[in-house]
Amino acid sequence: MLPLNVASFPVISCKALNNISGIKAKCVTQSLSKYQETSEDLIYLPREVPKRKIFKWIRHQLTGKSTLKKLVKEADVLHYYWGPAYPNASDLRWARSFNKPVVVEWLGSDIRNPEVLKAYNPYFARVYENGYEYRENESAENSQKVQKFFSCVNATPVLCPEMSLFLDRQLFPAFRLIFQRIQCMDIIPEYPLVSKQRPLIVHSPSAIYAKGTNFILPAIEELRKELDFDFVLLHNITRQEVLETIKSADIIIDQLVIGGYGMAAVEGMAHGKPVLSYIMPAVFEAGLPADCPIINTNSDNLKDNLKKLIQDAQLRHETGKKSRAYAEQYHDADKIALQLANIYRDVIRAVPIKNT
């Protein structure tokens, strides 16, 4: 898996795949972050090293690309996240020359097309012109460029329902549906207590405008005037610290803008918490299960939805139990690893044998 540990998906997937007999999975990342999970299967190969660090730079020039090329040559399947390892996509040319099957999983700004999303999502359209943090990275041109790179190696896209909305069906007539993943069995759910009268609300945004934090904070302040609850905003802390706080939470707010839920919601559900997030109708039409327990929330109904949960401990508890059951059914990494293994076998069988 390469070239980035996006949202910890590659590391989580590798751990689950390595529990399957006959499979050995490795993860290569070109960047490290305190927000990401690590493991012994993770190999750090930075794309660039500053020239001021002369010895590291020389070593990187001599061994960086050759190490990745060797790993590409040894692999039976290459599972990409985000985009090529290098701007000129030389790693994809290696894949083609070595006749390697390629699977690609896009997760967000890599192929999100603002023009497409605006047509589906009025909340995104408003925020896009007013502070949206990923505006410089997301465009129709970038989405097309990334997809063309992978169409040239006949890659097989594996996508969650939300991301399938941005797939160019002329380049990729077919794709495999797959969901975000987490090691559910490593998480002991702590359902909101029915006896708890002062609930804790948690929001952990990676981007203030893209997640709707600028709508959430005023709503919280207004609700404080009439209701008794605690609120914690988690920002710029490690993933482990976020998970520790989620354990004691009673309500999780994911996002109100993008139109699909991310890892914060998945983690919240796996911990047995009710989760608020905006999911646009098109995502359900694209394959999201109708029984998704996420409380569909936007900037217009945020206060009402929060008020119901703050005032009703039984509702929090019951929704938390539904959340955990949903996470186990659709987001468990061990189950998804079996799906991935089948996809890998399919793409291996589909690779034409080169004449030597």
Q: In the chain, what are the domain boundaries?
A: 6-181+334-350, 185-331
Identify the pLDDT of residue 61. Answer: 67
Handedness of CA 176, 177, 180, 184 (dihedral sign): negative
**Matching CATH topology for 6-181+334-350 and 185-331?**
yes
By percentage, how much of the chain surpasses pLDDT 70? 98
What confidence tier does 355 reach under pLDDT thresholds 50, 70, 90? low
Domain 185-331 has CATH 3.40.50.2000: yes
Q: Check pLDDT > 80 for residue 54.
A: no
Domain 6-181+334-350: CATH architecture, name and number where available: 3-Layer(aba) Sandwich (3.40)
85 residue type, one letter? A
Average pLDDT for the chain: 93
User: What pLDDT, on a 0 to 100 scale, did the predictor assign at position 221?
Assistant: 97
DSSP string of 248-315, one letter each residue: T-SEEE--SSSSS--HHHHHHHHTT--EEE---HHHHHTT--TT--SEE--TTTHHHHHHHHHH-HHH
Residues in Cβ contact with 218 at an 8 Å cutoff, skipping those fewer than 6 apart: none
* Predicted model pTM: 0.93
Sorting pLDDT into bands at 50, 70 and 90, what band is 354? low
Where would I find the H helices in the chain?
9-17, 54-74, 90-97, 114-120, 122-128, 140-151, 161-164, 208-211, 213-224, 239-247, 263-270, 281-285, 302-311, 313-330, 333-350
Q: Give per-residue pLDDT as tens, 194-222.
A: 999 999 999 999 899 999 999 999 999 99
Q: Which tens digit of pLDDT belongs to each residue from 136-146?
A: 999 999 999 99
**What are 104-132's pLDDT values in tens digits?**
999 999 999 999 999 999 999 999 989 99
